[in-house]
Amino acid sequence: MSNARLIKIRAVLEVCVLSRATLYRQIKAGYFPEPVRLTGGKSSRSVAWREEDVQNWIAERQKVNLR
């Protein structure tokens, strides 16, 4: 496995330029990668995203023509 980095929500929101609510709507709709739990158990609130998954999501977005 490569050197996979995990990034917390603050960093995800910063690089994706989304609100927290929009991010979770995108996840629920299946348009954004699911987070991974950092501690055991279903009631765990500490999550992060694989940096590679977030970067791939960004790369897949369509580019906007500003002309």
pLDDT digits (tens, 9 = 90+) for 9-25: 999 999 999 999 999 99
The pLDDT tens digits of the residues spanning 25-66 come to 999 999 999 999 888 766 668 899 999 999 999 998 877 777
Q: CA 59, CA 41: separation in Å to the nearest integer? A: 32
Residue 19 lies in a domain: yes
Residue 4 lies in a domain: no
Domain count, the chain: 1
What pTM was computed for the model? 0.80
Domain of residue 30 covers 9-60
Residue 22 lies in a domain: yes
Residue 65 lies in a domain: no
Residue 66 lies in a domain: no
Residue 23 lies in a domain: yes
Which candidate, 52, 57, 49, 55, places its Cα nearest to that of 32? 57
- Where is pLDDT greater, at 3 or 12? 12
Which distant-in-sequence residues (6+ apart) come within 8 Å of 46 by Cβ? Answer: 37, 38, 39
Residue 40 lies in a domain: yes
Residue 38 lies in a domain: yes
